[in-house]
Amino acid sequence: MKKALLIVAMLLLVTPVMATTTITAVQEGEFVADGMKQRTVRIDYSTDVNVRAFALDINIDAGPTFDNIRNFKTGESNAVSPGYGIFPSRFRDFIVVTGPNWVDPNYNPTVAWNEPGSANTGMGWPKMIVEMGTLYAGDANKPAWSGTLFRFDVNSEGGSGTFCITIAANTLRGGVVGNDGNAISASYVGTCVTFAPAGCVVPNIVNTAEAAAIAAVTGAGFPAPNKSGEQKSDTIAAGNVISQDQTAGLTIDCSTVINYVLSLGPCVVPNVVNMTPTDANTAIVNAGFTVGARTYDWSASVAKGNVISSTPAAGATPGCGTAVAYVVSRGPIPVACFDPCGTTFSQQKSQYNIYITNKWDPNSWCEYPTGSGFQCHGDADGKASSPDAYRIYTGDLTLVTNNWKKKMGVFPAGADPRADIDHKASSPDNYRVYTLDLARITSATTGNWKRKGCTSSVGTILPRNCPLDDASNNTYVKPVNCADSK
């Protein structure tokens, strides 16, 4: 009892002593108790003078509270168990001592709620006052120059965020007191603890191989993720994750199932050769591209109406979403698209090539869209008059009259092939431009004078493209829908 009173007396002496004494808060492990996240903090000291007692204010930002102070020494300091274990403000409540240590579980270094200046402090509060002292006889039994005073737990109380702990001297109770009973000026180092929100942290699995992504998700505490789809990607390799439906870094309920989309690699232009336009469109869209322009050309190897080629070509990787254009076959070049001079195909082709080589206008001849498609019906010049848009009019009549009774030869000495509207030679004179050609323009029954091309007016629509008049030739070019009109 005399020793305890000596400690109390010494705490009343507050003359500062110059020394290097530091009190430091150090974070330790985090754990969960009663459903609450908690972190352990210890209070260490170091000094270069003998310290008889500590009286400390320890505070934390609002939210968390202090819980379960422990690991403090009990009993007198000796060579076997040195340290600070006498708590002046509580000692009188536990004066009965049995054995070398105090074992009563209620005996702790925090100041009781009913002590002066201690309201709303202690366990369960964001502030506590701690008093610790030492009793010893002889230098061999005094506390070490540094060590741990005690540990306590910070209870998150279900909250999250960063909270700072501060330490200061409790001057009412003497602060830090030296061996001579004088107050010691000490330094105090606090710390800040962070409590993450309850749940599991979503890992970033984008651009991660599928197996590794699954392992990362389950390793973070979530159920196995769900592959919600597959997509082409110009930037993510095949087999890697393109996207995830939960934001990486967020803390969410651990039972959440994370969905992801897997990459199928870059978009590759499909081979649409010999497909119909409908099938080609489907293949292009399914491959991750958009459908580009459709054009037409002659082809002896690809059936009419099927695709000849695409741009970009099959196998290219121009980037998902690129427009893929393609060319549709109009079939083999029909005889009607050559100058009909001669009676054999080779003769006709030869004359037509001469026609093209000399850069005369072939536009009236070939099947649309290469030419007008109306030549065999009287549109010899391949033009529509202005402003009436007559396909069959004075320009066509002029071509016929200028070539009247002419036979074929190398143009312009022979007949202009455009004026041979019926694609026949008269018999027996072999005129290429004669009465039947004129009739296609002016006859009241078979002529098309002032007729227009594709219009909505009934009776004015001309068939598009020229069927061959030679019955022995089975090639017949069907008219094209008027929506394709020039």
Region of 348 on the Ramachandran plot (φ > 0 left; ψ -120 to 50 alpha; else beta):
alpha
pLDDT band at 457 (very low <50, low <70, confident <90, very high): very low
For residue 243, being part of any structural domain is answered with yes
Last residue of a domain, one of 165, 195, 225: 195
CATH number, domain with residue 133: 2.60.40.680
Backbone angles phi, psi at 144, to 5 degrees: -70, 165
CATH number, domain with residue 204: 3.30.10.20
- 101-105, 282-286, 290-294: segment of lowest average pLDDT: 101-105
Contact 52, 181 (CB under 8 A): yes
Position 412 scores a pLDDT of: 64
Q: Same domain, yes or no, for 39 and 173?
A: yes
pLDDT tens-place string over residues 344-354 = 444 444 555 55
More confident residue, 88 or 2: 88
Position 459 scores a pLDDT of: 46
In the sheet where 226-231 sits, what is the strand order?
Answer: 226-231, 259-263, 241-244
Q: Same domain, yes or no, for 35 and 142?
A: yes
For residue 115, being part of any structural domain is answered with yes
Residue 60 has pLDDT above 60, yes or no: yes
Q: Same domain, yes or no, for 106 and 140?
A: yes
Region of 194 on the Ramachandran plot (φ > 0 left; ψ -120 to 50 alpha; else beta):
beta
pLDDT tens-place string over residues 7-40 = 444 444 444 546 789 999 999 999 988 878 999 9
pLDDT tens-place string over residues 380-401 = 888 888 888 888 999 999 999 9
Total domain count, the chain? 4
How far apart (Å, rounded) are the C-alpha atoms in residues 54 and 88? Answer: 10
Last residue of a domain, one of 311, 329, 347: 329
For residue 227, being part of any structural domain is answered with yes
Average pLDDT, the chain: 81
Position 193 scores a pLDDT of: 95
Q: Same domain, yes or no, for 308 and 442?
A: no
pLDDT tens-place string over residues 77-94 = 889 889 998 776 666 665
| Domain, as residue range, for 442 | 339-486
Residues in the chain: 486
Q: Same domain, yes or no, for 414 and 471?
A: yes
Q: Same domain, yes or no, for 354 and 441?
A: yes
Whether the ω angle into residue 277 lies within 30 degrees of 0, i.e. cis, is no
Most confident stretch, 100-104, 372-376, 425-429: 425-429
Contact 452, 462 (CB under 8 A): yes
Q: Same domain, yes or no, for 62 and 34?
A: yes
Contact 181, 10 (CB under 8 A): yes
For residue 50, being part of any structural domain is answered with yes
For residue 41, being part of any structural domain is answered with yes
For residue 334, being part of any structural domain is answered with no
Q: How many helices (DSSP H) and strands (DSSP E) are in the chain?
A: 7, 18
Position 116 scores a pLDDT of: 84
* Neighbour-count burial for 336-346, b at 16+ CB within 10 Å, e otherwise: bbbbbbeeeee
Residue 338 has pLDDT above 60, yes or no: no
Q: Same domain, yes or no, for 189 and 207?
A: no
For residue 34, being part of any structural domain is answered with yes
Position 331 scores a pLDDT of: 78
Residue 411 has pLDDT above 70, yes or no: no
pLDDT band at 486 (very low <50, low <70, confident <90, very high): very low
In terms of DSSP H, where are the helices of 202-344?
Answer: 210-219, 277-286
Coil/strand/helix, residue 326:
strand
Q: Same domain, yes or no, for 360 and 402?
A: yes
Position 422 scores a pLDDT of: 78
Q: Which of 468, 349, 362 is nearest to 417 (CA)?
A: 362
Q: Same domain, yes or no, for 312 and 379?
A: no
Region of 398 on the Ramachandran plot (φ > 0 left; ψ -120 to 50 alpha; else beta):
alpha
Last residue of a domain, one of 305, 329, 353: 329
For residue 269, being part of any structural domain is answered with no
Q: Same domain, yes or no, for 119 and 18?
A: yes
Position 478 scores a pLDDT of: 37
Q: Same domain, yes or no, for 317 and 391?
A: no
Contact 146, 46 (CB under 8 A): yes
